[in-house]
Structure 1
Amino acid sequence: MSTLPNLPNLPDIGVHLQGHVAVVELRRPPHNFFDAALISGLADIFEALDAEPACRAIVLAAQGTAFCAGANFARNDDAAVHRSPRAVNPLYHEALRLFACAKPVVAAVHGAAIGGGLGVALVADFRVACAEARFSANFNRLGFHPGFGLSVTLPRLVGPQRAALLFYTGRRVGGEEALAMGLVDLLVPQDQVRAEALRLAGEIATSAPLAVISTRRTLRAGLVEAIRQAVATESAEQNRQFGTEDFKEGVAAMAARRTPVFTGR
């Protein structure tokens, strides 16, 4: 295990190298809520790892009970209702940098990946999870349009019909159901999630790195541009809906852990 001295030193994100695999760890336990600063820092690290020859694959993991429970509305200025209706959420500009990463990523999802946290999990090429993991695209349950490029990445992964079901209902699916629908690639006991993600990333890292990167580029051709167009639409819809009574009710209901009562206003 070794450190990478040329990487940004960020208090909420840890990085170390195990062989040719970089382990990137979110450190905002227990829920790892994000804001634009965290996603920007994560993108800075991914870009630095792209330039690091010793790194051939990345494991994205997290401390705490959740992998990532989404955006923290209390801290996230980017969700402000004062943004211009046509402005793209600055957080999504940072997310685009994650999708532009050239090296393969394996997400170690040991707990909940909710809302934008699901978006973070879908940045990865592969997801290793456990039965206790929970996945939810709960945006509509909060009163607004999905974001973080999920309108592209989720149907691309599980198909448009399953994606629509997850979006419209906001339902949570466990690890076993997520595996069955293709949202997860490997399911292991919870205490083995990170180790299995490291094993998979290590297996990838034994292949020729230039060949892996070029193959990945072929397989993901057009993805970043599709997400760039998607986040423009997602942002425009969200900007309109952040000013609605339904959005206020959705956030209040989430905070109170109750069923929201929407009025369509």
Structure 2
Amino acid sequence: MTAPPRGLVRTRADRVAELVLDRPDRLNAIDAELVEDLHAALEELREDTGVGVVVVRGNGRAFCAGSDVRDMAQRPQRHLLQGEELASARTAERARLARAFDVVVRLAEMPQPTLAGLHGSVAGAGIGLALTCDLRIAAASTVFVPAWPALALPGDWGVTRLLPAKAGDRAARRLLIGGERVGAQEALALGLVDVVVPDGDLPQALAERARQLAAESSVSAVGATKDLLAVPGLRDAVREEVEATLRCQESAEHAAAVRRFAAGAASRARS
């Protein structure tokens, strides 16, 4: 029997809505289908006055492994294209990137408080998702993995604004340029997460905090507060990230990096 397709699982209990990234075989890596699922869910929840808090978490061994590198490896290598073929491929990719990166803008603009439950790998686009949420609870196993340098790409999914806003310029450069991994306790010290709990305690800690927020928060007041606290220039940053990513994608370095990354992922999957 063929396994049912997975992407995003949406649950609702009282005033708590959960968005569960559910591609555990890919460590919840984000593909085009998951991008559309997130857009649809956020649009619906935004208008739902019965929802008092939105929780984002991942199923399986990780929160999110970032954008799906398997998809990257299948896209046209634009550094080999010319003329109309290059222009057409670039236009299509610009639209795809803009749609994907816009998820964090939509998440940032949700009127309800948003809460991320993190465990295992929080990589690439997953860092953007996590940092866009208002609050973050991390399991001790959580590791922030800035995959962009290894892929010869700039930061994306809003991290070029979110990382400096949360942890400062020095830490942002360590991750975005140095590619340094950051474990749960260091993430707590840097301000990337709010609480660290043992792995086994994460579901309960997340549920308790969500229930508290749902019971005590005024969505209208939270929405107004979030407007006042909005990260300056996030929308502009996302647009700039799209253009920077397009330029970097057209380098031979990026093409080689994707091949190495995809080959390593396939080898790890077989072992």
TM-score (norm. length: structure 1): 0.85
Provide closer, same or farther for how the CA distance between residues 86 and 250 of structure 1 changes in structure 2, counting only shifts above 3 A.
Answer: closer
CA displacement at 1:254 relative to structure 2: 2.1
Out of 128, 138, 151, the residue aligned to residue 119 of structure 1 is 128
Runs of 4+ deviating beyond 6 Å: none
Q: Does 1:252 align with 2:248?
A: no
Q: What one-letter code is carried by the residue in structure 2 that aligns with 1:212?
A: V
**Rounded Cα–Cα distance in structure 2 between residues aligned with 1:21 and 1:142:** 37
Is the CA contact 1:138–1:169 (under 8 Å) kept in the aligned structure 2? Answer: no
Q: What one-letter code is carried by the residue in structure 1 that aligns with 2:221?
A: A
CA displacement at 1:138 relative to structure 2: 2.1
Q: Does 1:14 align with 2:9?
A: yes
Q: What one-letter code is carried by the residue in structure 2 that aligns with 1:191?
A: G
- Aligned pairs for 1:84-103 within 5 A: 84=91, 87=94, 89=97, 90-103=99-112
Deviations 1:76-118 (A, max 9, x none): 5997543149946232234432222221111010211101111
Number of the residue aligned with 2:84? none
**Rounded Cα–Cα distance in structure 1 between residues aligned with 2:93 and 2:73:** 17
Number of the residue aligned with 1:262? none
Structure with bigger helix share is: 2
Deviations 1:215-242 (A, max 9, x none): 222222xx3x712211221121111111
Provide closer, same or farther for how the CA distance between residues 187 and 232 of structure 1 changes in structure 2, counting only shifts above 3 A.
Answer: same
Is the CA contact 2:69–2:262 (under 8 Å) kept in the aligned structure 1? Answer: no
**Rounded Cα–Cα distance in structure 1 between residues aligned with 2:73 and 2:17:** 30
- Aligned pairs for 1:190-229 within 5 A: 190-207=199-216, 208-220=218-230, 223=231, 226-229=233-236
Number of the residue aligned with 1:33? 29
Provide closer, same or farther for how the CA distance between residues 92 and 77 of structure 1 changes in structure 2, counting only shifts above 3 A.
Answer: farther
Q: What one-letter code is carried by the residue in structure 2 that aligns with 1:147?
A: D
Once the two structures are overlaid, the 10-residue window that deviates more, 174-183 or 200-209, is 200-209
**Rounded Cα–Cα distance in structure 2 between residues aligned with 1:125 and 1:79:** 34
Describe the SS at the equivalent of 1:14. Answer: strand
Q: Name structure 2 gaps, 5 residues minimum.
A: 79-88, 266-271
Provide closer, same or farther for how the CA distance between residues 164 and 79 of structure 1 changes in structure 2, counting only shifts above 3 A.
Answer: farther
Describe the SS at the equivalent of 2:49. Answer: coil
Cα RMSD after superposing both structures: 2.4
CA displacement at 1:204 relative to structure 2: 1.6
Deviations 1:148-175 (A, max 9, x none): 1110111111011110111111121111
Deviations 1:167-186 (A, max 9, x none): 11112111111111111111
Is the CA contact 1:73–1:79 (under 8 Å) kept in the aligned structure 2? Answer: no
